[in-house]
């Protein structure tokens, strides 16, 4: 049951251009969305998040957009840099009664920035 | 910068053996988690732990798995009798509250 889907397993972008990574979800109860970046042999690193009450959150070169009606979110990286090459995971959260989160991850998109 | 640390980084074990994976979460965090990633697949939630008890667990987290916080700093995942399909990267994570999770670098488990 893939509640969070990243349909593009890989993406190549020229350095300096915009990278757009997409994510779709099926569970309308998700209330928090996150993007994680993962390098080989390392754990996922938090990048940026957005609450379901917002439609945009920006942090430096990274912007996340949320379209609740379409159950779609996207991560924009501009300008793309070689160090951005990594696997990007979209994750969705359903805060439970205990106040903590269980993250449901997508399958990831491998981003390669071409110098 | 505070970080989540995990040991061992890689463990090789025979099928049927018990394995304990250890984690030291960030010191002021209250929520603790284990996730795993089988090679080539997505990161999957296993269990969350709060106030010295399991708050939620997935279908993967069956009776072979247990978690413990034996002292004020360590958070362990025990697999009682390992199976081949338990081979994966196991990630520990912690969070201060409902917000971002901080992940460790992972422990790779190989079951032969």
Distance CA B33, CA B102 (A): 10
B31, β-bridge pairs: B50, B95
A98 touching chain B per CB within 8 A = yes
- Model confidence at A76, pLDDT cuts 50, 70, 90, reads very high
Considering only CB atoms, A96 lies closest to which of B55, B91, B102, namely: B55
**pLDDT tens per residue across span B71-82:** 878 999 999 999
d(CA A71, CA A66): 8
C-alpha distance from A106 to closest chain B C-alpha (Å): 6
Contact call for B55 and A98, based on CB within 8 A: yes
Please state, in angstroms and as integers, the Cα–Cα distance from residue B81 to each residue in A74, A89, B74, following that order.
Answer: 41, 31, 22
Structure tokens at A104: 């449901």
Assess A99–B contact: CB distance below 8 Å, yes or no. yes
Whether B29 shows a pLDDT value over 60: the answer reads yes
Cβ neighbours, 10 Å, residue B47: 20
Task: For residue A29, give Cα distances in angstroms to A71, A92, A105, B39.
Answer: 11, 10, 15, 29
Q: CA A105, B46, B5: angle at the middle one, nearest 5? A: 90
Over the stretch B32-60, which tens digit does the pLDDT of each residue have?
999 998 887 888 899 999 888 998 899 99
């Amino acid at each position: 049951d893939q509640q969070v889907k990243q349909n593009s397993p890989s993406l190549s972008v020229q350095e300096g251009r915009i990278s757009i990574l997409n994510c779709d979800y099926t569970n309308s109860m998700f209330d928090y969305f996150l993007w994680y970046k993962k390098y080989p042999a390392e754990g996922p690193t938090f990048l940026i998040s957005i609450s379901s009450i917002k439609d945009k959150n920006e942090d430096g070169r990274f912007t996340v957009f949320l379209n609740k009606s379409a159950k779609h979110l996207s991560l924009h990286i501009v300008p793309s840099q070689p160090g951005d090459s990594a696997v990007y995971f979209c994750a969705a959260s359903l805060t439970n009664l205990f106040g903590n989160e269980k993250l449901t991850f997508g399958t990831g998109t491998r981003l390669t920035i071409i110098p | 910068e505070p970080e989540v640390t995990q040991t061992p980084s890689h463990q090789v074990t025979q099928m049927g053996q018990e394995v304990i994976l250890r984690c030291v979460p960030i010191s002021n965090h209250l929520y603790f988690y284990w996730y795993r990633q089988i090679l080539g697949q997505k990161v999957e939630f296993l269990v969350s732990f709060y106030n010295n008890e399991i708050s939620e667990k997935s279908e993967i987290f069956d009776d072979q798995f247990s978690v413990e916080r034996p002292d004020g700093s360590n958070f362990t995942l025990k697999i009682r009798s390992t199976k081949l399909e338990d081979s994966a990267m196991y990630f520990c994570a912690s969070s201060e509250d409902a917000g971002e999770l901080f992940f460790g670098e992972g422990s790779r488990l190989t079951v032969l």
